[in-house]
Amino acid sequence: MLERVAVHQTRLRTPGLGLDARGVALGAKGVVLLPSIDRLVAFLALYTRQGSLADILRSLAIEVVRSKLGAREVTLTFAAETSDRMDRIAEIARLAGGYTFTGTSRHFVQYRDAAAPFGYDVAQISAGDATLWLYHNTFSQSYETERKIDVRSLVLRLEPHADPSTGREPGPRWLSAEAGLGPALIHYFVRSGVTAEVGVAEWPPASSFDDGPVVRYLFRVPELPERMIPLLTRTPGLSMFLPAAPGTAVEVGFRHPVNLRACPVFAETGLVLFRGHGLDPLEIPKLPALGDVRAFARMEMRKDVAAARASAQPTTSVSVALRLVPTLDPWRHVTATWVEAEDLPVLRRIAYALGPESLRAARVAFTERGAIVRHPTGIEGIPVGQFFREVHKQLYVPAGYDVVPAVAPDVLYRSLGAPPGQVLFIGRDGTVLGVPEEGFVSLEAAVLEAQAWLPLAADRFADALSSALATELPEVTLGGVGLRPLRDVTASDDGALPALPEGAGSGG
């Protein structure tokens, strides 16, 4: 039987057991005893849900132990360090159906609970050569180590659970394609204007009867259009994975039992792809070289002049003119306005009403056909001119119009063939005008004209001030006016009072 540790108790019988600053019986190590492997997985899932396993990963040792009766159980041994860590682990172990012990070498005693707030101590140490002795209120048992379990190997062998809610949020994705589908997927991304990187990964053959290594194409896509998700998730031979942690990703539609972000057992230089449907994970020790899929775009060489003249075959390409059609969709990304030359006085009057933030953020360029004002958050504060919405970093179309054919903005900008540094504006009549990027300046610097000012000499100002200070002030005194102050004044013909004579009003 165990004995409860009392307050201020100093002597303990368990080897290596001592008291921490709060008086709790604590050894150098902690041990969690679990009845089976599935309880071990439950413990890891609960622990990683609330915190990171990196705190105890360096000292963590998982072993399968066997009792004298032949029963096999699982133990987790780790550095105890503080009673706060032990309290948290004890709560999770209790929820997972395990027991928590503390000690230093071979003998471990039950960790504290509600019945013994300061912990337990053994009444008598059992003799024996067993590798592990555990003392509990309900049992005392010795164990021998049978084998060790590597945390990385355990996490790698766990099969993901089906979870249809995963993969709905936008973000980067990993794609795995079999050798026959890789080239087709590359050209599909190129035609669709999707930014992606591709590499080729190799695995050893499954058996000696295979001719060569297993080859798969690996894609890293920063942002995948929503319209492509059904095709890439339902096509046999294609698999989509959602990054779960550095160096790991889980197939879309599945969830790993352990929080991989809180279990850093995989190297960031490699990649482990956890597949669903009972398939083994794809482990890549080192990422292959990845390149832009646009490097695989179809290239056409220009024919020489002689061959071009001799050839009279019609071309097979289809070219259509660019058009603008009105749209009923709400206006979005309206960040520019084109102010004609006759409307510049209106822009000058509006400048007086703009706030400091609008003046600092807006940029303006002056051309022969007027001024172009751009504002990154919206141009609604400048209600003058023809509004344009931004479809590309350097391409604008009139607000309320769509471009047909409905090609991607990158494809449209490249087809215009503008040199670098040009901002293009497509007019309503289909004309395209370009303005150099360096022609735009801050509206704050361009809106205020130069103000006139006059210099003032300091010595002339000092002389004028000295003469003014040297002038004597006249002395004015007031006296009594008596009972009849206007006794000597007579009214004039027009009824107005005459002016007072010199010296009138002064007392004396």
In order, the DSSP letters of 301-357 are PPPPHHHHHH--PPP-------EEEE--SPP--EEEEEE-GGGHHHHHHHHTT--HH
Confidence at residue 382, expressed as pLDDT on a 0 to 100 scale: 85
Q: Classify 505 as helix, strand or coil.
A: coil
| pLDDT value of position 308 | 42
- Pairing type for strands 248-251 and 271-274 reads parallel
Q: How buried is 135 (Cβ within 10 angstroms: 0-12 exposed, 13-18 middle, 19+ buried)?
A: buried
Instruction: Say whether 233 sits in a helix, a strand or coil.
Output: helix
CA distance 81 to 85: 7
Per-residue pLDDT at 428: 81
Q: Per-residue confidence of the chain (508 residues) as pLDDT tens digits? A: 788 988 878 788 888 899 888 889 999 999 999 999 999 999 999 999 888 888 899 999 999 999 988 899 999 999 998 999 999 999 999 999 999 999 998 999 999 999 999 999 998 888 888 899 999 999 999 999 999 999 999 999 999 999 988 877 888 999 999 988 999 999 999 888 899 999 999 888 877 676 778 899 999 999 998 889 899 999 999 999 999 999 999 999 999 999 999 998 998 899 999 999 889 999 999 999 999 998 887 666 665 544 444 444 454 556 677 788 888 777 778 889 989 888 888 888 888 888 888 888 888 898 888 899 998 888 878 888 888 988 888 889 888 888 888 888 888 888 887 788 888 888 887 788 888 888 888 888 887 766 666 665 556 556 666 766 676 667 766 666 666 766 666 655 555 555 555 554 444 3
Model pLDDT, residue 307: 45
pLDDT at 196: 93
Q: How far is CA 161 from CA 164, 254, 275, in A?
A: 10, 5, 10
pLDDT, position 322: 78
What pLDDT does residue 167 have?
Answer: 79
